Amino acid sequence: MAITTLNGVRLSWTDHGGDGPPVVLVMGTGSPGRVWDVHQVPALRAAGLRVVTVDNRGIAPSDECAGGFTVDDMAADVAALVEHLGAGPAALVGTSLGSRVVCELALARPDLVRRVAALAAHARLSPVQRAYTEGMVDAADAGVELPVRLWAAMQATHNLSPSTLDDDRAARDWLDVIGFGGTAVRPGHRAQLRVSLDLGDRRAAYRDIAVPLLVLAFADDRAIPVRLSREVADAVPGARYVEIAGAGHYGYLERPAEVNRALVDFLTG
């Protein structure tokens, strides 16, 4: 792991090596880049790619920037990292909020982007997603911390497929993992939540994405329903759409073999 001042902030990143074309992986709201290490980094390295992960601003040890920031700031961070590494044009993979970051970068700096894979892609929030995100911000502002067991159950229900939760052993394991992270929303996490609320509807803008785009949706995703991902695929000319069955918002962890197969096929094609 390295920490470099880029685009005016201290940004934490890891170059996992590889001699092939570079790919930068961008996580979603509240999550560190090391989440990719479990399944995606090994698979992409095995496919011959040079893999780089990053901790977005808002997630320590990158600067939290608790005063707030925009998706343009986050996209500029990734652009600065690509330039710092001399890795452009690079392939980009993002999930959830990360998918919006990489799509915005494809619009702003197509010279740095070879192709984009957007997991749980969306160009807007539905009323339910907006209410959920606003509620998370309100709870953080009020200093509310739910009991760990309640928080874990809520997050599991929100982010995992029923097929995962129907397996009692898997469900217990997930509850333990989610609960281990605690329930507090840190200031940087709150700032990332605000980014999603401030973005608005980008469907019209996404029509101008000119690099190859893979939209990877998760069939049982409650956080970003597949209809929102289909909107992105429909908006971007020539976009490829793949839907992973039996997967929720954490589909890249629930169904890694299927996700990795789709990513490798797209990124090396």
163 SS3 class: helix
Q: Does the annotation mark 96 as catalytic? A: yes
Q: Which of 63, 77, 220, 221 is catalytic?
A: 221
Say whether the peptide bond before residue 89 is cis (omega within 30 degrees of 0).
yes
For tokens 């217990």, the residue is 172
The dihedral over CA atoms of 238, 243, 249, 255, expressed in degrees to the nearest 10, equals: -130
Q: How buried is residue 141: exposed, middle or buried, by Cβ count under 10 Å (0-12/13-18/19+)?
A: exposed
Q: Which two tokens stand for residue 68?
A: 């707030």
In angstroms, rounded to a whole number, what is the distance separating the alpha carbons of residues 228 and 123?
A: 7
**Residues 262 and 216 sit within 8 Å (Cβ to Cβ):** yes
Provide the edge-to-edge strand list for the sheet that holds 50-55. Answer: 2-6, 9-15, 50-55, 22-26, 90-95, 113-119, 213-218, 240-244
Q: Which of 12, 31, 99, 249 is catalytic?
A: 249
Q: Which of 96, 99, 196, 229 is catalytic?
A: 96
Beta bridge partners of 248: none
For residue 214, give the nearest of 263, 268, 248 by alpha carbon. Answer: 263
Q: How far is CA 71 from CA 41, 103, 118, 154, 227, in A?
A: 24, 10, 15, 27, 22
Active site residues: 96, 221, 249
